[in-house]
Structure 1
Amino acid sequence: MKIFVCNLFKTYTVASTVRAMKRMGISVVEKTYYTPEDLYQDEALQAMVEKDVAAAGVDAVFTVNYWPVVARACKSLGMKYLAWSYDSPQNLPTTETMEYETNYIFLFDREEVRRYREKGLTNVYHLLLAVDSEHLQEILGGQVEYQYDVSFVGSMYQSDLPALMSQMSAYERGYLQAVMAAQEKIYGYYMVDDLLTESHLDAINEEYRVRTLEAAKSTGMEISENQILKVSMEQLSYAIATQVTHIDRLSLLHMLSKNRKVAVWTDEKQLTNSDRELLANAKIMGWADYDTEMPQIFAKSKINLNPSLRIIRSGIPLRALDIMGAGGFLLSSFQAELMEHFQNGKECVMYNGLEDAISKVQYYILHKDEREAIAKAGCEKVRREFRYEDRIGEMMRIAGLEM
């Protein structure tokens, strides 16, 4: 079998996927392109992909995450297109192109798959993420010594919500603040979509429209309707999720760093002055390379935090598997599928709120043997049951590709 791996953006999992494909005896043609500004329409990029795929003589095209422009190229060629995403939700404003019969779209979040299926998209499938055990063994080698008490690796998420709320009416701002306050208290269930209504969205967009037209009139500018900001339900929901996650992560790291040595690997450019003040007692390490540095961090940390992005409704985030695959102790916010596949307290540990997380950090820092037994069991589970080869084999089976 021969697969064309198409890279349009630097992604975490493509190297591991390609390594696993080659171990399985799959011939891989890999090509890197530029990231299109318009995810749906880029005639030059589509033409390049079509030309290269046609010349390569492959059985299917694969990308990490779903790219509409690649879907268009594959539809034009009558070529099967397999996309496996580690992001949730998909960074797509519409479902345009997703219905193509040539598509096989694999998502790690079962609830997100259900939502797409309810829209009539039958070519979207649930597929758990994976760990590259062979690569991890090469990177980590033998026994490693602890260097950090508590570690966090990930984004701090600077949300668009504060900017969006600055142009809303007092009522709508108050309503969204109440929605966020409710969501902050609930782990394992994303309730925001249940609380946002079309009437709220219409009121918000009408407020944007009125304010924009008034501002244009006061300055003598002419402005057309299509130049006025209009937010979609998906955009508003994501903005709320990232804001709540930002608060989650800052609050947890701030509280823990008062009494524990906390190390944070994140994009420092994302941190505001206020963020830095809250993290004054933590050690800010900058960003870490996914393939080479992250496994070392997870293995050398007594406790690894995974406060999940709140809009991941049920799935096991990639970071949780990364931590366990490297032999690290995972302390994660509650996720339904994590609970289904791992024994809480035996293969990983989950928390249901800020106070619970702090309490569990204090406990497991002091109970080394119990902590290390959990980390060992979690590592054995992911290396046995979350192999890239098994996931790739499942994709190929669903797509009707003979191995």
Structure 2
Amino acid sequence: MIHEKLLIEKARNGNKTCRYNIDGQWKYLYSKYSPERINHLYEINQDTDIVVVLGLGLGYELAEIKKVTSKPIIIIEKDIFFFHELKNDTDLLNGVKVYCEDEYKQISLNKLNVQLVIHDHLIQCDVSFYNNVIKYFQGKKKMRVPVVCSFQHPTIVDDCLQAFQKLGYQTVKLPWTHKDNILKNIAKISPAYLFSVNYSEIVAEISETLKIPYISWTVDTPAYSLYYQRNLNYQYSSWFVYDESVVEDLKKKGMRNIHYMPVAANVERFQKIAISEIDRENYTSDVAFLGHSGASNEYAAIIEPRISKELKKCINELINTQCNDQSFVLKQLVNDEFMNKLEVESNLTIDRGEHPLLPRNEKLAFLLGRYHSYLERITLMSFLAGNFDLKIYGDEHWMNQKDVNLSSAYSGNAEHFIEMSKVFKCAKINLNITRSFVESGLPMRVFDVLGSEGFLVTNGKLDINRMFIDGKDLVVYRDLKDLKEIIRYYLEHEDLRNQIKHQGLETVKKKHTYEIRISKIMEIVRSSINRLN
């Protein structure tokens, strides 16, 4: 028997199996050898009044469920052809009500205690349909706590989820896996919201399919995925970005529902991290910097080895210009003539590709900006290593520098959740160097240092002046000479260091926690949903 989506076949053991057309591909829903073997352990709760099963399929699942319960069973099946295939099996369907397509909306369960049984292999036939079914039955439960479904991230996702929980949301964290598996997992949960740290187009597409609002909070630059043309058409996505200059740029290019949202600190977590005498011995230094060297960059690895001395000289001049300007001037300095020459010599095409919202000159400016940041960090750290007791934490490229003082200052990679905060607490002075291509925003390091009650010296950005007071919450340096004088001064004035780092902590606690940020994000998202509806 065949129709446009379902193909019934005979398995090797003689029982029925089937293939189903899912997004243009024929997939087996059961084994080709022993389809009746169901890899599902059924446990029906004692207080269940009625069992609602999503998917009839070939009935193997129903047969197993009937072995473990005598409670009433309802089957909801999207494809009526499965029912036609089994309608003459009176023993299997005895005492079972089958609802096909949208007939489930007629079901009245009143105050009955319902247990949903969900089969991954069957709901994949129409994930959107079964997600709506799950929403329907969840909506029957009074005062359901809204669920936020999130995804793994190496640093801050747990801080975000903790904030969601404090605000009254239930949270679920899923691993990154194949798109089809993510789709099925989300459909089974049927959350009120999807959330990820940094934007994922895969989640955005699933959001559109299931009509579930998707919230992304981008905390890294450059974030190329923000520049997809199709982002302009997504209705259920809300983008939050830590750099306001990126937000304003994308708004001008037609991107809707994108908002500025700076990062934050989990002060509560930091305050639980105690410092022992051994910690003080291991982590105390005059100056500490925790961050990547930036040595792994596209220019140094791919472009520089291929181009002429003349073009290298031109690029070095551009880099020197950037070194003398606090704004990201490389975007204005890179022109078509320069880009064309670089493409010819390097045999590297700098096109907009899948990111048409990102002009070619800006894409190349990001590449050169990463190289500039590498040179800036190496230069600055070499200077400090020769003048102060410096400890550097980050990638191993710090250790491979020609400057002996710099390589000897390398102290390994500090683990994010505990060791990082110990570094910030024990160092007399913590340094932040926000990269040149981050035009107005602040990296997590700023909030992590202050949230750990560490003393922070940082270069200037718009958000520094917007969120903090120089000389009260932290200290801002202008150039290398200024930095040297600041470090010497505050090393000699411990009382001022303590006063400033305490005030910095208080400012973060009052204005820059994850709970404050997530609360604002949800306020904006709810407003967007109301407009959409």
Q: Is 1:317 aligned to residue 443 of structure 2?
A: yes
- Check whether the contact 2:452–2:505 (CA below 8 A) recurs between aligned residues: yes
The corresponding residue for 1:154 is 291
CA distance in 2, matches of 1:318, 1:372: 22
- Check whether the contact 2:428–2:491 (CA below 8 A) recurs between aligned residues: yes
The corresponding residue for 2:307 is 168
The corresponding residue for 2:349 is 230
The corresponding residue for 2:459 is 333
Q: Is 1:181 aligned to residue 320 of structure 2?
A: yes
The corresponding residue for 2:225 is 92
The corresponding residue for 1:222 is none
The corresponding residue for 2:258 is 124
Residue in structure 1 matching 2:165, options 10, 17, 22? 22
Q: Quick check: 160-169 or 305-314, which moved more?
A: 160-169
Residue in structure 1 matching 2:425, options 299, 316, 319? 299
Q: Quick check: 199-208 or 286-295, which moved more?
A: 199-208
Once the two structures are superposed, the pairs formed by residues 178-257 of structure 1 within 5 Å of their partners are 178-187=317-326, 189-209=327-347, 229-232=348-351, 233=360, 234-257=362-385
The corresponding residue for 1:52 is 185
CA distance in 1, matches of 2:415, 2:231: 32
Per-residue deviation at 1:367? 1.1
Q: How many residues align?
A: 368
The corresponding residue for 1:348 is 474
The corresponding residue for 1:103 is 237
CA distance in 1, matches of 2:402, 2:154: 27
Residue in structure 1 matching 2:156, options 3, 13, 34? 13
Cα pair distance change 1:347/1:272, threshold 3 Å: closer
Per-residue deviation at 1:393? 1.1
CA distance in 2, matches of 1:255, 1:291: 29
> Structure 2 counterpart of 1:59, which letter?
A
The corresponding residue for 1:274 is 401
> Structure 2 counterpart of 1:202, which letter?
N
- Check whether the contact 1:305–1:332 (CA below 8 A) recurs between aligned residues: yes
Residue in structure 2 matching 1:139, options 249, 262, 273? 273
CA distance in 1, matches of 2:244, 2:188: 36
CA distance in 2, matches of 1:244, 1:147: 30
Cα pair distance change 1:281/1:366, threshold 3 Å: farther
Give 3-state SS (helix, strand or coil) of 2:306's partner. coil
- Check whether the contact 1:65–1:87 (CA below 8 A) recurs between aligned residues: yes
The corresponding residue for 2:119 is none
Q: Is 1:78 aligned to residue 205 of structure 2?
A: no
Residue in structure 2 matching 1:261, options 369, 384, 389? 389
- Check whether the contact 1:313–1:335 (CA below 8 A) recurs between aligned residues: yes
- Check whether the contact 1:288–1:294 (CA below 8 A) recurs between aligned residues: yes
Per-residue deviation at 1:395? 1.2
Give 3-state SS (helix, strand or coil) of 2:438's partner. coil
For normalisation by structure 1, the TM-score amounts to 0.86
- Check whether the contact 2:270–2:451 (CA below 8 A) recurs between aligned residues: yes
Per-residue deviation at 1:141? 7.3
Q: Is 1:384 aligned to residue 523 of structure 2?
A: no
CA distance in 2, matches of 1:368, 1:317: 26
Give 3-state SS (helix, strand or coil) of 1:148's partner. coil
Cα pair distance change 1:371/1:77, threshold 3 Å: same
Q: Is 1:2 aligned to residue 130 of structure 2?
A: no
> Structure 2 counterpart of 1:88, which letter?
T
- Check whether the contact 1:258–1:281 (CA below 8 A) recurs between aligned residues: no
- Check whether the contact 1:266–1:286 (CA below 8 A) recurs between aligned residues: yes
- Check whether the contact 1:332–1:351 (CA below 8 A) recurs between aligned residues: yes
Q: Quick check: 47-56 or 231-240, which moved more?
A: 231-240
> Structure 2 counterpart of 1:122, which letter?
R
For normalisation by structure 2, the TM-score amounts to 0.66
- Check whether the contact 1:190–1:311 (CA below 8 A) recurs between aligned residues: yes
- Check whether the contact 1:21–1:28 (CA below 8 A) recurs between aligned residues: yes
Cα pair distance change 1:134/1:354, threshold 3 Å: same
The corresponding residue for 1:214 is none
> Structure 1 counterpart of 2:225, which letter?
L
CA distance in 1, matches of 2:148, 2:163: 12
Give 3-state SS (helix, strand or coil) of 1:63's partner. strand
CA distance in 2, matches of 1:70, 1:364: 47
CA distance in 1, matches of 2:211, 2:157: 24
Give 3-state SS (helix, strand or coil) of 1:204's partner. helix
CA distance in 2, matches of 1:324, 1:369: 17
Sequence identity (%): 24
Per-residue deviation at 1:149? 1.0
- Check whether the contact 1:329–1:372 (CA below 8 A) recurs between aligned residues: yes
CA offsets per residue over residues 270-310 of structure 1, 9 Å max, x none?
3473356351452x221111111111110111100101121
Per-residue deviation at 1:235? 4.0
Give 3-state SS (helix, strand or coil) of 2:199's partner. coil
Give 3-state SS (helix, strand or coil) of 1:400's partner. helix
Q: Quick check: 90-99 or 336-345, which moved more?
A: 90-99
Once the two structures are superposed, the pairs formed by residues 357-372 of structure 1 within 5 Å of their partners are 357-372=483-498
Q: Is 1:69 aligned to residue 208 of structure 2?
A: no
- Check whether the contact 2:247–2:258 (CA below 8 A) recurs between aligned residues: yes
Give 3-state SS (helix, strand or coil) of 1:285's partner. coil
Give 3-state SS (helix, strand or coil) of 1:289's partner. coil
- Check whether the contact 2:400–2:407 (CA below 8 A) recurs between aligned residues: no
- Check whether the contact 1:46–1:72 (CA below 8 A) recurs between aligned residues: no
Give 3-state SS (helix, strand or coil) of 1:311's partner. coil
Give 3-state SS (helix, strand or coil) of 1:83's partner. strand
